[in-house]
Amino acid sequence: MVYFKKMAVIGVGLIGGSLARVLREKKAVGEVVGIGRGEANLKRGVELGVLDSYTTDAKKGVEGADLVFIATPVCSIPQVVAEIAPHLSKGCIVTDGGSVKEYVVAACEPLMPEGTWFVGGHPIAGTEHSGVEASFSTLYQGRRCIVTPTGNTDPAALEKVVELWKVAGSNVPLMDPVQHDLVVAAISHLPHMVAYSLVNAVDGYDRFGGDLLSFSAGGFRDFTRIASSDPVMWRDIALTNKEAILEMMDFFSGYLEKLRGLVAAEDAEGLRTFFLNSKQKRDAIL
Amino acid sequence: MVYFKKMAVIGVGLIGGSLARVLREKKAVGEVVGIGRGEANLKRGVELGVLDSYTTDAKKGVEGADLVFIATPVCSIPQVVAEIAPHLSKGCIVTDGGSVKEYVVAACEPLMPEGTWFVGGHPIAGTEHSGVEASFSTLYQGRRCIVTPTGNTDPAALEKVVELWKVAGSNVPLMDPVQHDLVVAAISHLPHMVAYSLVNAVDGYDRFGGDLLSFSAGGFRDFTRIASSDPVMWRDIALTNKEAILEMMDFFSGYLEKLRGLVAAEDAEGLRTFFLNSKQKRDAIL
């Protein structure tokens, strides 16, 4: 089993905290140091047993680490790597949990000093809660973590990162960063754009001056849960996966337009077929 | 408390079965007869104690009833009323659980014989399951049931229908049928149109020839749960609430287009504000 002497987690929230928890539980790390800006959160991480120690100084925190896990919003990952790069020990592997991979991998790989390695990763897991309090060791159990090597990736470093996520309980498909970004644009980024737009639209529809949202039932609440996700995280995703998100939004709009046409034409059989196809596909992934 | 000697339930599924269950439990009905086409389902209703008896002949089933509850897909409600009208007893109240009210109320009111009453209703409750097996007596507890009187509605009949839903545990706002249809177009019909389109779009996006849906995580599954709803029920809703649904789809498309513009322009502050506004509105209805 893979083993790291010292792991540094930069951004100790749900994602970073949960990985630290499971690696400790499985004895795959010797020591975990937490790095972040919010001291109260980091202290809490030590109290909860997620971290052995913490620092707000990233340069100091990564000293001697053989694994660095960056779990900050996407746009800041390259900034973090630029800051820590000169302080990394030989052989150190840096990986991340960002939801966009081409932007991150292309920006980070060239920043790595000789003998250290960047490998991009994206655990497809999460809840609508955040912070180290929300972290738990089984978050990644049975989930997918997509790891995105490139032509520059060191095979031994790649193997260790794959092992790491397997220890956390995940299935670990490998994917090209560009392909990864298109896949998640479809199954994750598009639904978020749709949910955010839907809540804003219903809230903005004030034809009666009444509070429409107060009439919403369980279906609407489930459907819009992802519209409660962190605005800064999603701002960064929209900024860094722009082309794929625009492509998927346009693709989706085509289907919405098709359905609009069926409704306008009162096409009973077309409507039933459209709904049935969706139900069958949806039921197949239950 | 309101009391009915004999209740006929036409369409004994989740909605009809759950109302029968709670009214029996609260002793607000003397006898419940189930009416439907599927004999196996009706038999099961008797076995489960939801019904006292059943018949596949609606005319016979409504004889002597002082309450008829119609819980079939929207388009068939006026057909059912036309069939049973000549067989209703004096003083009988007919009400329904359809998701569209202007179409139903406008079609059914003129069909009612002298001395019998139609009052439209719409319990905003449900699960993705259907059939009498899925029914339970607390389905309506704490939920809203919108009742939609018109200028023709008998005040005493209206009062009894309102009481009926209060006995079931619901809050019972009164609303004009046209206003009702616009409200539910926003909070229920639009989300369904969006969810059905989303699943079809993601399923139809085969750029990699891979099975995109297999990568979907919890968020996508929650978000698309309503795309598993019954295609015939939703065909009928789309056919009978066409204008309001088209209006909401266009209104939503405007927001989606606005967000598309923010993504295309890489407008960081605009994106954060768009997402934050949605999150705040969403969190307020949690």
**Closest in B184, B200, B276 to A274, CB measured:** B200
Find the length of chain B. Answer: 286
Whether residue B169 is found in the same domain as residue B183: no
Are residues A79 and A34 located together in one domain of the fold? yes
A222 vs B225: CB contact, 8 Å cut-off? yes
Any chain B CB within 8 A of the CB of A123? no
Q: Are residues B200 and B151 in the same domain?
A: no
Q: What is the CATH number of the domain that holds A30?
A: 3.40.50.720
B157 and B264 in a single domain? The answer is no
Question: Could you report the per-residue pLDDT of A162-172, keeping only the tens digit for each?
Answer: 999 999 999 99
- Are B225 and A222 spatial neighbours (Cβ–Cβ below 8 Å)? yes
Instruction: Give the chain A residue nearest B186 (alpha carbons).
Output: A202
A5 touches chain B (CB under 8 A): no
Let me know whether A127 and A155 are in one domain: yes
> Is residue B37 pLDDT above 70, yes or no?
yes
Domain boundary among B174, B196, B228: B174
Q: How far apart are CA A276 and CA B228, in angstroms?
A: 8
In this predicted complex, what is the ipTM?
Answer: 0.90
Mean pLDDT, each 10-residue run in order, chain A (286 residues)? 95 97 97 96 97 98 98 96 98 97 98 97 86 95 95 97 98 95 93 95 77 70 84 96 97 98 98 96 83
Based on DSSP, count helices (H) and strands (E) in chain B, helices before strands: 12, 7
Instruction: Establish if A195 touches chain B: CB-CB under 8 angstroms.
Output: yes
Q: Is B254 within 8 Å of chain A by CB?
A: yes
According to the model, what pLDDT value does residue B208 have? Answer: 64
Shared domain check, B191 and B128: no
A283 touches chain B (CB under 8 A): yes
Q: Are A167 and A188 within one domain? A: no
Predicted local confidence at residue A24, as pLDDT: 97
Residues in B touching A187 (Cβ below 8 Å): 202, 212-213, 215-217, 220
CA distance A255 to chain B (A): 6
Q: Does B272 touch chain A (CB under 8 A)?
A: yes
Residues of chain A found within 8 Å of residue B212, distances taken between Cβ atoms: 183, 186-187
Q: Which residues on A lie below 8 Å from B195 (Cβ)?
A: 223, 278
Residues near B232 by beta carbon (within 8 Å), at least 6 away in sequence: A272, B73
Query: Which amino acid appears at position A280 of this protein?
Result: Q
**Last residue in a domain, options A128, A143, A175:** A175
- Residue A212 is predicted with a pLDDT of 74
Q: Count of A–B CB contacts within 8 Å?
A: 275
Could you say which of B143, B210, B242 has the minimum Cβ distance to residue A266?
Answer: B242
The predicted-structure confidence for B85-124, as pLDDT tens digits, reads as follows: 999 999 999 999 999 999 999 999 999 999 999 999 999 9
Q: What is the reported pLDDT for A224?
A: 84
Indicate whether A46 and A102 sit together in one domain: yes
Burial A74-101 (b: 16+ CB within 10 A, else e): bbbbbebbebbbebbbeebbbbbbbbbb
Indicate whether A127 and A196 sit together in one domain.
no
**Beta-bridge mates of residue B145:** B123
Interface residue A268 vs chain B (CB under 8 A):
yes
Domains of chain B: total: 2
* Amino acid residing at B196: Y
Q: For residue A128, what is the nearest residue in chain B, using CA coordinates?
A: B219
Rounded to 5°, the CA angle A92-A97-A103 comes to 90
pLDDT digits (tens, 9 = 90+) for B196-213: 999 999 988 876 656 677
Buried/exposed code over A213-246 (b: 16+ C-beta within 10 A; e: otherwise): bebbbebbebbbbbbbbebbbbbbbbbbbbebbb
Q: Are residues A62 and A154 in the same domain?
A: yes
Element (H, E) at A54: strand A53-55
A190 interfaces chain B, CB cutoff of 8 Å: yes
Q: Is B172 on the interface with A (CB under 8 A)?
A: no
Do B184 and B169 have their domain in common?
Answer: no
Integer Cα distance of B286 and A129 in angstroms: 13
Q: How far is A182 from chain B (nearest CA, A)?
A: 9
Among A239, A253, A272, whose Cβ lies nearest the Cβ of B231?
A: A272
Sequence-distant (≥ 6) Cβ neighbours of residue A239 within 8 angstroms: A74, A75, B266, B268, B271
Closest residue in A to B228 (Cα–Cα): A279
Report the gap between the CA of B188 and the closest CA in chain A (Å).
7
| B214 contacts: CB under 8 Å, gap ≥ 6 | A285
Residue B1 forms contact with A (CB below 8 Å): no
Is residue B10 exposed (0-12), middle (13-18) or buried (19+ Cβ within 10 Å)?
buried
Confidence at residue A217, expressed as pLDDT on a 0 to 100 scale? 63
User: Of the residues B140, B174, B208, which one is the last residue of a structural domain?
Assistant: B174
A29: β partners: A4
Choose the closest CB to A197 out of B213, B259, B284: B259
Residue A10 belongs to domain spanning: 4-175
Partner residue facing B278 (CB), from A183, A227, A251: A227
Whether residues B213 and A281 touch (CB distance < 8 A) is answered with yes
CATH at residue B264? 1.10.3660.10
Q: Show residues of chain A in contact with B175, CB under 8 Å.
A: none
Residue A213 near chain B (CB below 8 Å): yes
Chain A contact set for B268 (CB, 8 A)? 235, 239
Nearest CA in chain A to B246: A260
Whether residues B125 and A217 touch (CB distance < 8 A) is answered with yes
Given a cut of 90, is residue B63 above it in pLDDT? yes
Q: What is the mean pLDDT of residues B46-63?
A: 97
Q: Mutual orientation of helices A242-264 and A268-284 as an angle, nearest 10°?
A: 140
Nearest to B195 among A223, A262, A277 (CB): A223
Closest partner CB to B215 (pick from A187, A224, A253): A187
Is B62's pLDDT higher than 90?
Answer: yes
| A185 and A74 in a common domain | no
